[in-house]
Structure 1
Amino acid sequence: MNILQALFFPPEQPGGVSSMVPYITEKFNKRGWDMELFSLPRRVRGKGTEPVTFNTFDWTRYAGNPIVDKYIQTYKDYVWWTKLRIRKSYDLIHAHHPIAALAIKEVFPDTAVIVTVHSSYEGELLLNGKIEGGGPEQLFLTSIYGEMEARLDQILTVSNSFKGYISEFIQDPDRIGVIPNGYDEKRFRPISHENEVAQLITVCRLVPAKGLETLLQACAMLKERGHPFVLHIIGDGPSRTELEELAKEMNLYEEIIFYGYMLHPEEFMPFFDIFVLPSKAEAFGSVFAEAALCLLALVGTNVGGVAEQIENGRNGLLVESGDAPALSQALEKVVVDPTYRYQLARAASEKAKKSYSLNRVIRQLRGVYERYGK
């Protein structure tokens, strides 16, 4: 079967999707499937000029809004790039972003197109303070789910929680399948080590939605109670300067190291002890599974896909989003007790290997591909 994996971001860009799909493609190719990657380069902007029409709603009533206009232009660019670069047909196309899915379906109307929705763009914009609830941007972006239902052959997502979210915007929620992300264990190599001071690590884009202000507040409380630690923050984003200033104000700058963006943080994570990320929302939370496979104890928030990965007290610790005192207490439990955090880490690793293996994803996707492919 000849299959195209259509990404939005190029494979070398940060994020769980961009890093996972190339491994899926490689696995299928080794099994004799004909599969290749396609994405829109960042240099391709403002090239598309064809008008955009959706079947289920009139997007032009939102025209003039900067976010909507940017989304529509990206759609046009994806259509332009697809027509320019793809000169062959496929038995099936698997897209990993709404823009990629709908644009490529426009170019290949007679080819089965399935989409995996990995996250909520409108949710991220809301949490990051870029848009207001009920505004034109949210209405436009949530209408896209109905358009996908009408035009695409299958909608997949990565957690039951996120399926519930999408279900509010479509007619038949039973059409949504759930296939959690998967990871090749060979990429993750836990390392035996003993750190005299507990080493905390977080990996994320530095934006308000990740709740890092809450993490700094929790760390300040941890320091006040006399517990030594070092927090390593891997990632970059618009909140970095603000977070660095906040660390100074809270007298935490000596305990925190800001690294900036790193392409393969999984090569770095095994040297640490505890992974913590107090997100306000996560469709799946790929980095938690990656940290588990690196044998780190997990501390997260009771949101979305994170709560589906962590059973509180068994393979990690969960607190409510925005609750700095509770987060500080959870961190204290794993900072002061190496045996306990190892037990949590071991349980998290076992679950990740069982539930989020790449081979499991391959089996589930193969079933979908055989159902919809020519």
Structure 2
Amino acid sequence: MNILQALFFPPEQPGGVSSMIPFILDRFNKRGWEMELFSLPKRVRGKGTEPVKFATFDWEMYAGNPIVDKYIQTYKDYVWWTKLRITKSYDVIHAHHPIVGLVMKQLYPDTPVIMTVHSSYEKELILNGKIEPNGVEHAFLTSIYCELEDKVDQLLTVSNSFKQYLGEFVQEPERIGVIPNGFDEKRFRPVPHENKIPQLITVCRLVPAKGIDILLLACAELKKSGQAFVLHLIGDGPIRPELEQMAIELNIYEEIIFYGYMLHPEDFMPFFDVFVLPSRAESFGSVFAEAALCGLALIGTDVGGIPEQIIHGQNGLLVPVDDVAALTNALEKVTGDPTYRYNLSRIAWDKAKNTYSMSRVVQQLKTVYRSYRKEE
């Protein structure tokens, strides 16, 4: 079979999806499958001019809104770039962004298009203070899900929690499949090490949705209790200056290292002890599986797809969203008891290896792709 993996972001950019798909492609190609990547370069902006029309709703009722207009222009750009660059046919197209899925089905109506919805753009915008719940932008973006259901051949997502979320916006939620993200076992693996002072790490974009402000408040309480630690913050984003100032005011700046963006954090993630990320929303939370495969103890929030990865008290600790006291208590448990921390990390590694290995995900995808194999 000849399969196209169609991304929105180029694979060299950071992010769970764009960094994962090239490894999937490599696994398939090594097994004799024909598979290629396609994406929209950053430089392609404002090129598309073809009118956009949806079958399930009239997007023009939302026209004039900056976020909606940008979304539609990006759709037009993707149409323009796809027509320019794709010159062959494929047996199956696997899209990884709503714009991509809809464009591919518009241009290649006779080709099966599988669409994996990896995250919720509208929830991210709400949590980051960019749009209001139930506003114009929210209505437009959630209407896209029904359009996807109407157009593509198969809807997939990455967690049962996110399937439930999508189910509110489609007609037949039971038809949505779930295939969790997969991770290369050679890329993410434990490394023997011993740290005298517990080393905490988080990897994320520095935006309000990730809850790093709550983490800093909890770390301040941890310091007051007399527990030594170092927090490694890998990632960049619009609120980095605000977080750095907050760390200074909380008197924990000396305990924190702000690295900024890093292309391959997995290269030295295994040398730390605890991964902690108090997200306010996560469709799946790929970085938790990555950290588990690197042999770290996990602390996350009881939200989205995170509880599907962390069983509280067995392979990590879950805390409520925005609960500083609960997060502080969890940090005290894992930093103060190396044996407890090790046991959590060992079970987390075993669960992640069995559930989120790339080999397992490749087998699940093969089953989906083969269901669209053309009869000879």
TM-score (norm 1): 0.99
Counterpart of 2:327 in structure 1 is 327
Which residue type is aligned with residue 332 of structure 2? E
Which residue type is aligned with residue 141 of structure 1? L
Contact 1:112 1:373 in 2 (8 A): no
Superposition map of 1:183-198 within 5 A:
183-198=183-198
Which residue type is aligned with residue 244 of structure 2? E
Counterpart of 2:352 in structure 1 is 352
Counterpart of 1:261 in structure 2 is 261
Distance (whole Å) between structure 1 residues aligned to residue 66 and residue 178 of structure 2: 32
Mean CA deviation greater in 184-193 or 21-30: 184-193
Instruction: Deviation per CA, 1:91-140: give whole Å up to 9, x if none.
Output: 11000000111011111111110100000000000110100001010000
Counterpart of 1:71 in structure 2 is 71
Instruction: Deviation per CA, 1:306-337: give whole Å up to 9, x if none.
Output: 11000000000000010011000000000011
Distance (whole Å) between structure 1 residues aligned to residue 87 and residue 193 of structure 2: 52
Distance (whole Å) between structure 2 residues aligned to residue 32 and residue 191 of structure 1: 32
Distance (whole Å) between structure 2 residues aligned to residue 289 and residue 189 of structure 1: 11
Counterpart of 2:173 in structure 1 is 173
Whether 2:355 is the aligned partner of 1:342: answer no
Counterpart of 1:92 in structure 2 is 92
Superposition map of 1:4-83 within 5 A:
4-83=4-83
Distance (whole Å) between structure 1 residues aligned to residue 211 and residue 203 of structure 2: 12
Shift of 1:234: 0.1
Runs of 4+ in 1 over 6 A off after TM superposition: none
Whether 2:102 is the aligned partner of 1:105: answer no
Distance (whole Å) between structure 2 residues aligned to residue 192 and residue 178 of structure 1: 34
Which residue type is aligned with residue 227 of structure 2? H
Q: Report SS of the residue matched to 2:116.
A: strand
Counterpart of 1:293 in structure 2 is 293
Distance (whole Å) between structure 1 residues aligned to residue 53 and residue 80 of structure 2: 15
Q: Which runs of 5+ in 1 are unaligned?
A: none
Which residue type is aligned with residue 351 of structure 2? K
Counterpart of 1:153 in structure 2 is 153
Contact 1:78 1:104 in 2 (8 A): no
- Residue correspondences, number: 374
Shift of 1:266: 0.8
Q: Which runs of 5+ in 2 are unaligned?
A: none
Shift of 1:189: 3.0
Shift of 1:263: 0.7
Contact 1:300 1:317 in 2 (8 A): yes
Superposition map of 1:199-218 within 5 A:
199-218=199-218
Distance (whole Å) between structure 2 residues aligned to residue 106 and residue 13 of structure 1: 26
Distance (whole Å) between structure 2 residues aligned to residue 363 and residue 290 of structure 1: 19
Q: Report SS of the residue matched to 1:163.
A: helix
Distance (whole Å) between structure 1 residues aligned to residue 372 and residue 156 of structure 2: 13
Contact 1:281 1:303 in 2 (8 A): yes
Distance (whole Å) between structure 1 residues aligned to residue 101 and residue 372 of structure 2: 15
Q: Report SS of the residue matched to 1:299.
A: strand
Shift of 1:175: 1.3
State, as a whole percentage, how many aligned pairs show the same letter. Answer: 73
Counterpart of 1:229 in structure 2 is 229
Which residue type is aligned with residue 110 of structure 1? D
Distance (whole Å) between structure 1 residues aligned to residue 272 and residue 174 of structure 2: 41
Counterpart of 1:122 in structure 2 is 122
Distance (whole Å) between structure 1 residues aligned to residue 174 and residue 312 of structure 2: 29
Distance (whole Å) between structure 2 residues aligned to residue 188 and residue 208 of structure 1: 27
Shift of 1:174: 1.4
Contact 1:182 1:356 in 2 (8 A): yes
**Residue 182 and residue 321 in structure 1: after superposition, are their counterparts in 2 closer, same or farther (change >3 A)?**
same
TM-score (norm 2): 0.99
Which residue type is aligned with residue 44 of structure 1? V
CA RMSD of aligned residues (A): 0.6
Distance (whole Å) between structure 1 residues aligned to residue 227 and residue 107 of structure 2: 58
Q: Report SS of the residue matched to 1:276.
A: strand
